[in-house]
Amino acid sequence: MPWLQLIIHSTRAQASAIEEALMDVGAASVTLQDDADQPILEPALGETPLWDATRITGLFEADINTKAVSLELLAQLPQEPLNLKWEQLEDKDWEREWMASFQPICCGERLWICPSWKEPPEPEAVNLMLDPGLAFGTGTHPTTFLCLQWLDQQSLEQAALVDFGCGSGILGIAALLLGAKQVIGVDIDPQALLATRENAGRNGLAADAMPVFLPKDAPQTSVDIMLANILAGPLVELAPLLTSQVRASGLLCLSGILASQADAVMSAYPAFDFDPVAQKEEWVRLTGRKVR
């Protein structure tokens, strides 16, 4: 289906009103983007961040009356100096575009992450066949890659793990394929739990090999390894819970952390003796052993 997009350059103060007005005049979706190279890498807890200069894009079906929509927007926002720009959006099969860009990834000596629709480049390797669906985690992001690389280096035979913030299930499933006995997956997003179940089945794993739970339903257990690839703020808040579930001499692997946040996160886990920090781009992975 062909589409038109309406682009409006906005300030932080204008953005919410413009977003609401676009939905009122029939936009199928509204996207807000940075309009001045001002990165916001991690919001504060409970905060919905916006950029000082925000580009707002409303998506409309191609048969929309652009003049009528423009006039209605101007009438709804008489106090806002609006510069409206209509563009035709190229008609593509966006799902196929994304599928073409997701290629197999080597994550160490043994482990490959492979799109479920492609043949593994090394059939004899440990190949995790993945379709992330709507959940986070393909191995392409530095935080996920760093965790997968660490798992590839571990001896996981018969280990029990928690994958907290499991997303697509990629870390927990990798651990199972590398020899772990069981992984408990935990995520706040029901879509992530569904994606994890489907990806586990796609890799020939039994349903009870990686049971998944919302945090409120997750069992309080004691495991050999705790994996948590989320964000620095939640990692600090969750430190008592995550620490309590790692047995004596157990391992911790944390990511989703900017290099500038590493010390603050490590200080929230005093029970662990941390390894040297591993870094990829601006992101880091923290690993350590429970010593007290």
CATH number of the domain encompassing residue 77: 3.30.70.120
- The answer to whether the annotation marks 187 as part of a ligand binding site is yes
130 shares a domain with 23: no
Residues 66 and 120 in one domain: no
In this structure, are 219 and 275 located in the same domain? yes
Q: Give 96's pLDDT tier (boundaries 50, 70, 90).
A: low
- From residue 129, give the alpha-carbon distance in Å to each of 34, 42, 113, 181, 200: 34, 30, 6, 19, 9
Do 119 and 210 lie in one domain? The reply is yes
Buried b (16+ CB within 10 A) or exposed e, 26-56: ebeebebeebeeeeeeeeeeeeeebbebbbb
Q: Which of 154, 194, 193, 143 is nearest to 177 (CA)?
A: 154
> Does 273 share its domain with 203?
yes
CATH of the domain at 120: 3.40.50.150
The last residue of a domain, from among 35, 57, 91:
91
Phi and psi angles of residue 70, each rounded to the nearest 5 degrees, phi first: -60, -45
Residues 163 and 51 in one domain: no
Please check whether residues 221 and 83 belong to one and the same domain.
Answer: no
Among 91, 112, 134, residue at a domain's last position: 91
CA dihedral 195, 201, 204, 206 (to 10 degrees): 110
Last residue of a domain, one of 40, 74, 91: 91
| Pair 197, 207: CB distance under 8 Å | yes
- Do 70 and 105 sit in the same domain of this protein? no
pLDDT band at 118 (very low <50, low <70, confident <90, very high): confident
pLDDT digits (tens, 9 = 90+) for 158-205: 999 999 999 989 999 999 999 999 999 999 999 899 989 999 999 999
31 is in an annotated binding site: no
* pLDDT tens per residue across span 43-80: 444 444 556 788 899 999 888 999 999 999 999 988 76
**pTM reported for the whole predicted model:** 0.70
Torsion sign, CA atoms 186, 250, 170, 136: positive
DSSP of 50-61, one letter per residue? Answer: --SEEEEEEEEE
pLDDT of 135 strictly over 80: no
Give me the domain span that covers residue 154.
99-290
One domain, residues 65 and 119: no
Instruction: Clarify whether residues 82 and 115 are in a common domain.
Output: no
Q: How many domains is the chain built from?
A: 2
Q: Do residues 88 and 59 touch, judged by C-beta distance below 8 A?
A: no
Residues 71 and 121 both lie in one domain:
no
Neighbours of 271 (CB within 10 A): 17
- Tracing tokens 């997009």 back to the chain, one arrives at 5
The alpha carbon of 108 is separated from its chain's Cα centroid by a whole number of angstroms, namely 21
* 144 annotated as ligand-binding: yes
54 & 172 share domain: no
Instruction: Return the pLDDT at 37.
Output: 58
